Chain A
């Protein structure tokens, strides 16, 4: 089956409605997008004439820049919208803001918001394709796609691989999206963290297991992803001390030694160095953290292509 024969999803809010075939085609096309980025002219005219709005209601540098560059590499016009500098601060509702932007003939939205479900609202109000660039603790699908792409690039497939994700699972939309995506593509996911940061309901996802023991988590793992400790989302009482957390759950060379011999280390960024990941692992030969950032642009180009190319 080819992507041309698959039904086309209208949005990327999470992975609902995205078949394994469509997801695989998206990752395959990211290979071609990566080639474009290696050329003297890093631009193709595929989205010429279309306007993409990056609407970021929550701070982000790398995701926003990555999306904006991805859209520009495809020749789309980009309008950037930051909540702090908008009429939202004067009391305008999200719905009115989106309707104003849509009246300016925006063709697609990339939305980041601190509230889960905000991207769904933008999709409903705008009637245009929406890409969720992170909503609350719920989902960050393009980060999961670039993680999957990075692992697949390393091993040639995701089928039969094990990915251990270690740290603050509770507050991590990256962990949730990865736990949703990777098993669909044939990989097994082990989520690991202190019991206070490990929601037991995630064990219900197919292909996902939970453990509080990091050595057990990485045993047999082909990729080990450290999660950022989201201290800004923690009220109190999740951890006894940061030092204790680092002593037990830090992804470092000692822990990586327990994984498969060719295992790679990942981190969705931004990193708290020497807290959730040691500097020697983050900068060492197993690290693919810079590669994740590079791949982000190619994967986001592919997402834009899949959502915006072709008649609806």
Chain B
């Protein structure tokens, strides 16, 4: 399973998240009334890290939540295997908050669409923004990210693998050919 290329090293992941945190503060004129919600699986540690950086920058504790979008997928009757449903945990009121959805890779946009539906069923936030570590293109829906760690033009035959310390023991983003992963 040799990667075609290393896209982000651990240091580059850290710098990308630091830059995103600064952009969040800039765009929202601080970190008051923000909330970060990570999409299962790797969006969750990324949201936690961004919250820690916002706390360092602004001295504000930004609440975090976790969102599972399984029940909102638009291909549930088509998928070959049954997905496990994981926990959704948003332990704060969404009203009057600007929510930043966080995910590792933005690809077709279908996961984000499902996350928007899931989030709106939980409450009515003042606004929703999207932060991703990697945007690899190939959108199938009119969705764009507000904060991007790395724009990466890819082919559909390629796979972006994000590994994070919390879930995989290492921070690393790699590009693989789908054939080599089979």
Whether a CB of chain A sits under 8 angstroms from the CB of B76 is yes
Q: Please name all residues of chain B whose beta carbon is closer than 8 Å to the beta carbon of A305 when the two chains form the complex.
A: 71, 82, 85
Once the chains bind, are B85 and A29 in contact (CB under 8 Å)? yes
- Residue of chain B at shortest CB distance from A107: B77
Quick one: given A40-B122, A45-B117, A49-B77, are A306 and B72 in contact (CB under 8 Å)?
no
For B83, list chain A residues within 8 Å (CB): 4, 309
Q: How many residues of B contact A (CB 8 A)?
A: 23
Check A5–B121 contact: CB distance below 8 A: no
**Chain A, Cβ-Cβ closest to B89:** A35
B68 close to A (CB within 8 Å): yes
Number of residue pairs spanning A and B whose beta carbons lie under 8 angstroms apart: 68
Residue with the highest number of chain A CB atoms closer than 10 Å, among B70, B82, B121: B82
Q: Is the CB of B71 within 8 A of A36?
A: yes
**Nearest Cβ on chain B to A35's Cβ, whole angstroms:** 6
A240 interface contact, C-beta 8 A: no
A35 to B80, alpha carbons, bound, how many Å? Answer: 26
Inter-chain pairs besides A5-B81, A306-B82, A310-B80, 12 sampled, C-beta below 8 Å: A3-B84, A4-B84, A29-B85, A32-B88, A40-B122, A41-B122, A44-B121, A45-B71, A45-B117, A309-B76, A309-B77, A310-B76
A46:B68 contact, CB within 8 angstroms: no
List A residues 265-312 near B (Cβ within 8 Å). Answer: 305-306, 308-311
Closest to B85 in A: A32
Main SS class of interface, B: loop
A: contact size bracket: 20 to 34
Smallest CB gap from B82: residue in A: A310
Binding site for B on A (CB under 8 A): 2-5, 8, 25, 28-29, 31-33, 35-36, 39-41, 43-47, 49-50, 74, 305-306, 308-311
B77 and A4 contact, CB distance less than 8 A: no
Q: Looking across the interface, which residue of chain B has its beta carbon closest to that of A30?
A: B85
Indicate if the CB atoms of B81 and A43 lie closer than 8 Å.
no
Give complex CA distance A169, B84 in Å: 36
**A interface footprint on B68-104 (CB within 8 Å = 1, 0 otherwise):** 1011110011111111111110000000000000000
Contact A46 B71 (CB under 8 A): yes
Query: Does B59 touch A at the CB level, under 8 Å?
Result: no
A50 touches B77 (CB 8 A): yes
- Cα of A44 to Cα of B123 in the assembled complex, Å: 14
CA distance A309 to B72 in the complex (A): 12
- In the bound complex, residues from chain B placing their C-beta under 8 Å from that of A41 are 121-122
Instruction: Report the minimum CB–CB distance from B120 to chain A (whole Å).
Output: 8
Q: How far is the CA of A28 from the CA of B87 in the complex (A)?
A: 10
* Contact A3 B82, CB 8 Å, known A43-B121, A46-B76: yes
Q: Which residues of B contact A44 (CB under 8 A)?
A: 71-72, 118, 121
Beta-carbon contact of B82 and A35 below 8 Å: no
Residues of B within 8 A of A45 (CB): 71-72, 117
Query: Which residues from chain B contact A49 at a C-beta distance below 8 Å?
Result: 77
A31–B122 CA distance with the chains assembled, in angstroms: 17
- 6 residue pairs A–B, Cβ–Cβ below 8 Å: A3-B82, A29-B85, A305-B71, A306-B82, A308-B77, A309-B82
Contacts of B80 in A (CB 8 A): 310-311
A81 to chain B, nearest CB (A): 23
Would B81 and A40 count as touching, CB distance under 8 A? Answer: no
